[in-house]
Amino acid sequence: MNKSEDLLESARAGNRRSLSKLLTLVEEGHNSPVEHGKGSSLGITGPPGVGKSSLIGKMIDVWIERGESVAVLAVDPSSPRSGGALLGDRMRMVNADSSDLVFIRSLATRNHPGGLMDCLTPMVDILSECGWKNIIIETVGAGQSEIRVVAFADRILLVDGPDRGDIIQAEKAGIMELADLIVINKSDLPEAERAAKAVKSALSVGEDDTTPNVLMVSAHSGQGVEDLVAALPNVITSTDRERLRVRERLISAWDSTLLNSTKLETTLQALEKGSITLQEAVDKIREEG
Amino acid sequence: MRAYRAKCLNRFLEGYYRCPKYDLTMRIVVAKPGLDGHDRGAKVIARALRNGGHEVIYTGLRRTPDEIVRIVIDEDAGALGLSSLSGAHSVLIPRVCEGLRKSEMSNVIVFAGGIIPEHDRESLYDVGVRAIFGPGTTSKEILEFLSTIEKRSESGEPVGVGEEAGWHW
């Protein structure tokens, strides 16, 4: 048995330290010891400042109350300048660190398209294998690269806030098309009702039975959070959204292949000098196949 | 020391594309133990470490020693920075160090900051704290501390909280 199999065995028996070390190994690019994993995850995304982490904190409270375990992979961007990252999601999940039913791991994107994506699915499989019932991938839904991350989840929950004009941003970024359930947070604020209506009307074009539900919650007061948690097992997806997710995953894998290509450096230099065109560069890298 | 070497960390740095580039950085938890309610210092440190290329997990205010140990385990952090301004450092910091040792996290590097009077420092070094940074410390100094730690651990000298005491910054 190699190191990762040892760690898996100990993690299965409930050793958090082994689980944590195993996730690190996978993050560093080692192969996962879990083959044909059956892990299923919920992606939670939405614009910055909309209350995703606070909402997850409240959802965790509900799960703890029910005696269900929950693992969160909280993804934040790495700084493009230093390569470092400031990961502050867990400061909003206040009750999480005193319960054995909760495991939170902060992950930085590490500025490597494909890098983090390569390890998300194995991580979810490992968590599932070790008995974590609810597995969440949290990411800021602000741009294309974040959509890539959340597309690795099996169901996607989009969180939005009242009157921020963000729903238009979400539509532009294409997150709306991926969402299986939409939640308007901060329902204690007066504009929340209006935001929910705006979202519903945006969704009503081409409505059918797979159109996502819109729920209102308040991570501040806890209102609606129990209903949200209760609704999660019944959230359905559509073939269109499934197709979109698979498409994003394929593009991630493609990126990854490109960046790991042995010809990347020489191709970049050639492009820099202008001695080949972009199309020639693509053809050159594809030849490797 | 647990440091990660990203397989291929491609970066756009000052408009220049460098690839593939190996990078050596750490995952560091910055924590606020106890009841003090001011975290400007901790946040400044967190940003400075981030700008130094490290991945920093900030815990937020009012964490118990047990919670902090749990966070270091879950995040598989290589280092832990504890900020204390309330005067409870002599009670809380040794408890965190003890907890880490009990949880087989003896190789984690622990450093402290905030208002920690000179006459309290020796006893903290004795329980495994490797550096104490007071007011006026530059972020450069903290980054220098971490690269010294890196060199020491590469040559097999003790740096972790549960390893042989004696050396501190």
* pLDDT 10s digits, B71-116: 999 999 999 999 999 888 999 999 999 999 999 999 999 999 999 9
Q: How confident is the model at residue B7, as a pLDDT?
A: 32
Query: In chain B, which residues have their Cβ closer than 8 Å to the Cβ of A81?
Result: 13, 51
User: For residue A266, is pLDDT > 80?
Assistant: yes
Domain boundaries, chain A: 1-33, 37-237
* Residues A7/A31, Cβ–Cβ less than 8 Å: no
Handedness of CA B36, B37, B42, B44 (dihedral sign): negative
Q: How confident is the model at residue B8, as a pLDDT?
A: 31
User: Which chain B residue lies closest to A23 (C-alpha atoms)?
Assistant: B76
> What does the alpha-carbon distance between residue B36 and residue B30 come to, in Å, rounded to a whole number?
15
- Which domains are assigned to chain B? 25-154 (3.40.50.280)
Report ipTM (2 d.p.). 0.84
Contact A28 B7 (CB under 8 A): yes
pLDDT tens digit sequence for A150-179: 888 999 999 988 866 656 665 665 778 888
Contact B76 A84 (CB under 8 A): no
Contact A86 B105 (CB under 8 A): no
Contact A20 B74 (CB under 8 A): yes
Shortest distance between the Cα of A202 and any Cα of chain B, in A, equals: 37
* Residues A54/A154, Cβ–Cβ less than 8 Å: no
Helices and strands in chain B, H and E counts: 5, 8
Query: Residue range B19-28: average pLDDT?
Result: 58
Q: Determine which of A21, A69, A86 to mutate to test the interface with B (most B C-beta atoms within 10 Å).
A: A86
pTM for the complete prediction?
0.87
Shortest distance between the Cα of A208 and any Cα of chain B, in A, equals: 42
Contact A259 B4 (CB under 8 A): no
User: For chain B, what's the residue count?
Assistant: 169
> What does the alpha-carbon distance between residue A44 and residue A264 come to, in Å, rounded to a whole number?
34
Q: Is B151 helix (H, G, I), strand (E, B) or coil?
A: helix
Contact A20 B2 (CB under 8 A): no
> What does the alpha-carbon distance between residue A89 and residue B74 come to, in Å, rounded to a whole number?
14
Q: How confident is the model at residue A196, as a pLDDT?
A: 86
A37-237: which CATH topology? Rossmann fold (3.40.50)
Chain A interface includes B11 (CB < 8 A)? yes
User: For chain A, what's the residue count?
Assistant: 289
